[in-house]
Every structure is written in C-alpha cells, then in structure tokens.
Chain A
Amino acid sequence: MAFKESAAGRVFDAVNAGLMVLVVVVTLYPMLYIVFGSLSSASALVGHGGLLLHPEGFSLKAFSAVIRNPNILSGYRTTLLIVVLGTAFNLFMTALGAYVLSRRGFPLGKPLMMGIVFTMYFSGGLIPRYLLIYRTLGLGNNLLALVLPSAIATWNLLIMRTYFQGIPESMEESAKIDGANDFHVLFRIILPLSLPVVAVVTLYYGVGHWNAWFDAMVFIRERALYPLQLILREILVLSNMDTMGSGGEDLEGLGENLKYATIVTATLPILFAYPFIQKYFVKGIMIGAVKG
C-alpha cells in the first residue's frame, strides 16, 4: 500500500508486531526449555528454578542413558513398523474406497457413501469396539489391532474422493477404450495424477500412527510390542523410573534431565521432517475446506 499511514496505524502495527513476537515466544519457548533442560547436567538442573535461557552445566549423560534404554529402542522399532506397514495399508484401502465412491453411475456408490458418512456422526462406542476387537476377533496383544480397526479414516477418504472427482473423465474413458479395467485406471492413471492428495493423506496417516497410543494401551499386553508413545507415557506422564533406564544403572537425580532428553529423542524425527511436510498438511486443510 502506497498510502500514507496514520499515526494510529503505525502504533497499531508496532503493537501488533510485538504481539506476534510474543505469540512466537510462547509457542516455541516450551520446546526450547526442553532442549536446554536435556543438555543440562542433572545436578545443576535440580538446583535451578524458573526459566532456562541456556543449558545449565552442559552434559550429554541423559542422552547416552536414553539411547541405551531398551524400552525406547523397542518402542521405536514397533512404531516404525506400524508407521510404514500401517500407512501403506491405509493408503491402499483409502484409494480403493475413494475410487469406488468417485465413479459416476456406479449403482452402489450412493448407498455406500451414505453408510460411510453416517459412521462419522454415530458410533457404537468404546466398549463394544473393544469387545469386538479383543474378544470377537481375538486381536488382543496383536499388532494388527493397531492397524485393521483404523484402516480407513473417513475424513481422508472424502478428501481423496473429492480430488479424484476433479480428474477429467476423458482420462478414464480413453484408457477403458484401450481395454484397461478399473484396477488399471486407479493404479496406473488416477493415482499418478493425484500425487498431491496422496502425499497429504500419507502424512495424515503416518503422523496418526506415530502419535497413537490409546489402542496399544488397551490391546497390547507384551511390553516388547509397545509402541514408542506408550513407553513415553510411562516415562513422562506416570514417571515410571523402571521404564526410564535399562534397570542396571544408577539414575539417581537424573529424573527431569532424563525426561527432557527422552522428549527430544522421541520428537526429533518429527521436528526434522517438519519444514518439509508442513506445507502438505496445510494443503490438506485446503482440499478439505473446498468440500466443507
């Protein structure tokens, strides 16, 4: 704007910029505090109250305890397995559903859509769901219990369907004339043309699996199968000292320090990926908003 700014306008701009800086500080400082705390020495940290503006007495001891912690390692292993295989399965099922629902003139399309959308607004509840998965299907203590019941997130299905509907029908028709069936059309034509939405949905599912903990708490009994978030819950929320170390070493006084190092170790992959993936998430909201 080339217009002259009034005095009041300039004051507002200054106040607003100040407010925004405050927003950034409030948002980022808690994470910075954790990082400083994780790099501090345990003894200096115990004596320190209030804000941390830098690590107190630098030490990497907490990190060396965390990476030697067998619980964290096995947690990482389970989580990575579920993120990779679970997300692949999610994508396959969601693409099938989105494709079927996006075809005009498919007689089952409409009733299927109604049946699916209804489940967004009504559910049988936690307890019947538990009884089904645990008792009826017998998936207790089985990692499939963390994958099968959440095979399709209806919101992601609808995002993908909206995107598929925007692809010109002529693409499909010309392929069909050349003798392609619907599997070919979906996997060779539609999906390669839908990479933006595939990226968005992959990330939504991947991060969802990474963050999930509740189903594992209810269904998984064997500690070796616990995903990372469930281990984190024991360490961070329940302050379970046994989970914090490998059992043998002396963790006396390392409590807070160790918690912070655990948070950093468990959050680092997401934070590293963050600059690359955040724009896809934003795109997901936009695609969803078009329909909403």
Chain B
Amino acid sequence: MDRAVAGFRRHGALYLMAVPVALYYIVFHYGPMYGAVIAFKDFDISKGIWGSTWVGFKHFTDFFSSFYFWRILRNTVLLSLYQLLWGFPAPILLALLLNEIRHVRFRRFIQTASYLPHFISMVVACGMLVDFCSRDGVITGLLAAVGIPPVNLLTQPGNFRTVYVASGIWQEAGWGAIIYLAALSGIDVQLYEAAVIDGAGRMRKLLSVTIPGIMPTVVLMFLLHVGRIMSLGFEKIILLYNPNTYETADIISSFVYRKGLGEGFQFSFTAAVGLFSSVINLTLVVAANAVSRRVNQTSLW
C-alpha cells in the first residue's frame, strides 16, 4: 500500500495525463467492441444494446447462406489480389528505376511529381475518374481511338477492378516508393565498390547488391499487405460503384455500409458481417506477423 502511494506521488501528473488518452480509447475503440455484441442479438433501439434479445449465431448463419456471402467475399479477395499483383510491385519498380537516374535534380523532380496524386483527396480523385471514364470522358476517348467502343467505363462490371487498381497505382505508387528509396539509400556504398572491383557491371550490381539490399523491406511490406488483404476500405468503392457494378465492385466493407447505414438499417445483421471481417483481419495480421518474425526477424509488435 505504501509503495502504491509512493508510486502515485512520484507519477501523479502522469496518471492525470493518461486519463484523457485512456478514456478516448475506452470510449471510441473499446466502446464499439462492446457494441458489437448486437451481432448476437436482435438489436432494438428502444431496448438498448444489453436489453435486446439474444439470438446466438442467427445473423452469421443468415449471412453465410445468403446470396451475397460468396459475391462480396470473392470481390474482396479478388480486388485485393489484383491490387497486390499490380499495385505492390509498382513502387518497387519505380524506386529501382529512379535509383538508376544519376542526374540529381531530374531525379528529385520526378520523385516530387510522382507523389503529388497522394495529396489529392479521395473525393476529388474519384470525381476526376468518374468524369474521365464517362461516355464522353477523356480516358474513354483515348480508348475509342484504339477501337474500344465508347461506353461509360464505370457502368461495366467487367471494368471495375481494372479502373480501381490502375487508379490506385496513379494515386499511390510514387508515395509508396519513398520507403524503398530510403532502403536503397541505406545500402552500404562499400558493397558497390567491392562489386566493381570484382568486375561487376550494372546488371550484376542490381542483382547482387541492390535487390538483396532492399529485400527485407520488400518482404516486410509484402507481409503487411497480405495481412490487410480482407480489410479493403470502402471509401473509394462507395464513391465509384453503382448498382450496375455491384456484381464485381461490392466488397465486405461497402456491403456493411450500404445495408447498415446507406439503404437499410439492418444493424444486427451488418454488425455480424463486420465482426466476421474483423476476426478474419485479426487472424491474417497475426499470421503475417508470425511469418515475418520467422523469415525476417522483424515483427509488427
């Protein structure tokens, strides 16, 4: 007891400072975790969260057996995989090519220009896309020049993933390259000098020094991406999709938004879908971290 009192006296101000921070996390982060119990209830606003009747896993089984389950699961996984396939290598390639430019000011100019799109807000970026992909938009016009019939690209389910992934590269590749450029500048110059003495040309240096040098960063970033494969955000989706493209565009998070807040107010059902996705995300992150610890000796926590 005396020790506790002494400890409090010593750290008194720190306890006081911790209060608002702890309160914030308890209310706004742990509060919704408690609220997620409505996934196991038939939530009735007048009865409140605790007063509503328990229904067990009803909403989960409803979801698993519904028409939407496979569609939004498939769309989430496919969109993530395409993004991983095209969007993940883009910044690495950009960083490697930038690294080969010797003219410092030219390199700096390209780099600065390449991450400009990152600062354009999501609403404006999607507004531009909607305009460029419309029936008489500039992208549609360019495609028409190579013989693709001019239609509004965003009303075609077959185009949605391409538009999403390609615009994502435009938005984020330059920004994503920064971390790889940092890794590149961290490679010991002596390794290059030793390689040159051993008669290595540029290609050999790239393969034997540069790429192994950034490999730990690449692996770490890759695992981070894999860990997030199911947690694709809905902001860009709900700005770009429409009933014509739900078939390929609707993912778990956009479905939760639409059924819970957008069109209907199926709180318990969508809370169950959201909880299902949160649990999968947590599992994936833990798994990715376990792999990372093994291959890379680095851990997220």
Residues of A within 8 A of B (CB): 1, 3, 6, 9, 12-13, 16-17, 19-20, 23-24, 26-28, 30-31, 33-34, 49-52, 93, 96-97, 99-100, 103, 106-108, 112, 115-117, 119, 121-132, 135-136, 148-149, 151-152, 181-183, 186, 207, 210-211, 213-214, 218, 229-230, 232-233, 235-237, 239, 256, 259, 263, 266-267, 270-271, 274-275, 278, 282, 285-286, 289, 292
Assembled-state Cα–Cα distance A289/B34 (Å): 33
Task: State whether B278 touches A236 (Cβ < 8 A).
Answer: no
Q: Shortest distance in angstroms between A284's beta carbon and chain B's nearest beta carbon?
A: 10
With contacts A51-B138, A126-B274, A278-B112 taken as known, whether A16 is within 8 angstroms of B101 at the C-beta atoms is: yes
- What count of chain B residues pass the 8 Å CB interface test? 87
Residues of B within 8 A of A (CB): 7, 11, 13-15, 17-18, 20-22, 24-25, 27-36, 38, 45, 49, 94, 97-98, 100-102, 106, 109-110, 112-117, 119-124, 126-128, 130-132, 136, 138, 141-142, 145, 170, 174, 178-179, 182, 196, 201-202, 220, 235, 239, 253, 256-257, 260-261, 267, 270-271, 274-275, 277-278, 281-282, 285-286, 298, 300-301
Task: State whether A20 touches B278 (Cβ < 8 A).
Answer: no
Assembled-state Cα–Cα distance A127/B256 (Å): 8
Task: State whether B128 touches A233 (Cβ < 8 A).
Answer: no
Which residues of B have CB within 8 Å of A129? 28, 32, 35
Which residues of A have CB within 8 Å of B32? 123-125, 128-129, 132
Q: Shortest distance in angstroms between B284's beta carbon and chain A's nearest beta carbon?
A: 10
Q: Shortest distance in angstroms between A265's beta carbon and chain B's nearest beta carbon?
A: 11
Assembled-state Cα–Cα distance A128/B24 (Å): 16
Task: State whether A124 touches B31 (Cβ < 8 A).
Answer: yes
Task: State whether B7 touches A107 (Cβ < 8 A).
Answer: yes
Task: State whether A100 touches B14 (Cβ < 8 A).
Answer: yes
Task: State whether A28 touches B113 (Cβ < 8 A).
Answer: yes
Task: State whether A285 touches B36 (Cβ < 8 A).
Answer: no
Task: State whether A12 touches B101 (Cβ < 8 A).
Answer: no
Offer 21 A-B interface pairs, CB within 8 angstroms, sorted by A: A13-B100, A13-B102, A20-B97, A23-B114, A26-B170, A27-B174, A52-B138, A106-B14, A107-B7, A124-B31, A128-B34, A128-B271, A128-B274, A132-B32, A213-B121, A229-B121, A229-B124, A237-B239, A259-B127, A285-B179, A289-B182
Assembled-state Cα–Cα distance A33/B260 (Å): 38
Q: Shortest distance in angstroms between B5's beta carbon and chain A's nearest beta carbon?
A: 13
Which residues of A have CB within 8 Å of B261? 126-127, 130, 218
Assembled-state Cα–Cα distance A239/B178 (Å): 35
Assembled-state Cα–Cα distance A100/B15 (Å): 8
